[in-house]
């Protein structure tokens, strides 16, 4: 177990709705990254937060947004859900710099109908 | 240039055998190469990682071989066990981008 927790574990939404996913980082970690993992594929980087500031972003549209709180927990918000947003959403926490190991949570399985 | 190519897509090995998974990359800025193991319904778990200043790293039954000039690295699982049956992902990270770039995954099945 990595100490990274995510909620909820599963979620079903309909197209056009909005969703918020939550992540609690491992103790002592100040950096959180979010990834999208479609079925049968490797995780794709969405964005990273370091000390409450966005610190890098992958090739995802602006309707994917995030927050990091002073206790280093984090949220991923997705607006105007599309069917292709159905995936496992993973958060990973790490401490500081760019060469630090990222530890993943169990993920939230999102199904968009 | 951000791609990491992984092969094979699936692998069946007998118990006690050696499992070998290969990855190749193009971006010379990558400087950290972890391997993750993922069981169904779980998040990826770090297995072993290597930096390009060494050519090999061994931890228990798991070994990473790294060829910087060829831009290739591989995972060897010695004495494979049924409990090793999972999906394995190679990944790469560069200092500038901070994100992990993952391969497409290898589904390993170890038969008893």
The pLDDT tens digits of the residues spanning B37-65 come to 999 988 999 999 999 889 999 999 999 99
Place of tokens 């491992």: A26
Put simply, whether A27 touches B (Cβ < 8 Å) is no
| pLDDT-based confidence at residue B12 (cuts at 50, 70, 90) | very high
**Interface with A, mutate which of B21, B38, B100, B105 (most A CBs under 10 A):** B100
Q: Is the pLDDT of residue A99 over 60?
A: no
CA A82/CA A76 separation, integer angstroms: 15
- 3-state class of A85 per DSSP? helix
CA A26/CA A42 separation, integer angstroms: 22
Put simply, whether A58 touches B (Cβ < 8 Å) is yes
The pLDDT tens digits of the residues spanning A42-97 come to 999 999 998 889 988 999 999 999 999 988 899 999 999 999 999 999 999 988 75
Contacts of B93 in chain A (CB under 8 A): 98-99
Q: In this structure, what are the phi and psi dihedrals at residue A88, rounded to the nearest 5 degrees? A: -95, 125
Q: Which of A40, A43, A48 faces B44 most closely, judged by CB atoms? A: A43
Place of tokens 């831009």: B71
CA A100/CA A16 separation, integer angstroms: 37
């Amino acid at each position: 177990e990595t100490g990274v927790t995510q909620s909820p574990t599963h979620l079903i939404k309909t197209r056009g709705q909005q969703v918020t996913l939550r992540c609690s980082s491992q103790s002592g970690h100040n950096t959180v990254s979010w990834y999208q993992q479609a079925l049968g594929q490797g995780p794709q980087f969405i964005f990273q937060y370091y000390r409450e500031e966005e610190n890098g972003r992958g090739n995802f549209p602006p309707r994917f947004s995030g927050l990091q709180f002073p206790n280093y927990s984090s949220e991923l918000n997705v607006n105007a859900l599309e069917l292709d947003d159905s995936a496992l959403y993973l958060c990973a926490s790490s401490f500081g710099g760019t060469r630090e190991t990222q530890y993943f949570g169990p993920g939230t399985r999102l199904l968009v109908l | 240039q951000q791609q990491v190519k992984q092969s094979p897509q699936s692998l069946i090995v007998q118990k006690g055998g050696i499992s070998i998974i290969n990855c190749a990359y193009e971006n010379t800025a990558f400087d950290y190469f972890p391997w993750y193991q993922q069981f169904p319904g779980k998040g990826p778990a770090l297995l072993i990682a290597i930096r390009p200043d060494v050519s090999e790293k061994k931890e228990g039954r798991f070994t990473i071989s790294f060829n910087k000039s060829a831009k290739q690295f591989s995972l060897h699982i010695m004495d494979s066990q049924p409990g090793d049956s999972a999906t394995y992902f190679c990944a790469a990270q560069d200092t500038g981008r901070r994100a992990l770039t993952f391969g497409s995954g290898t589904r390993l099945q170890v038969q008893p």
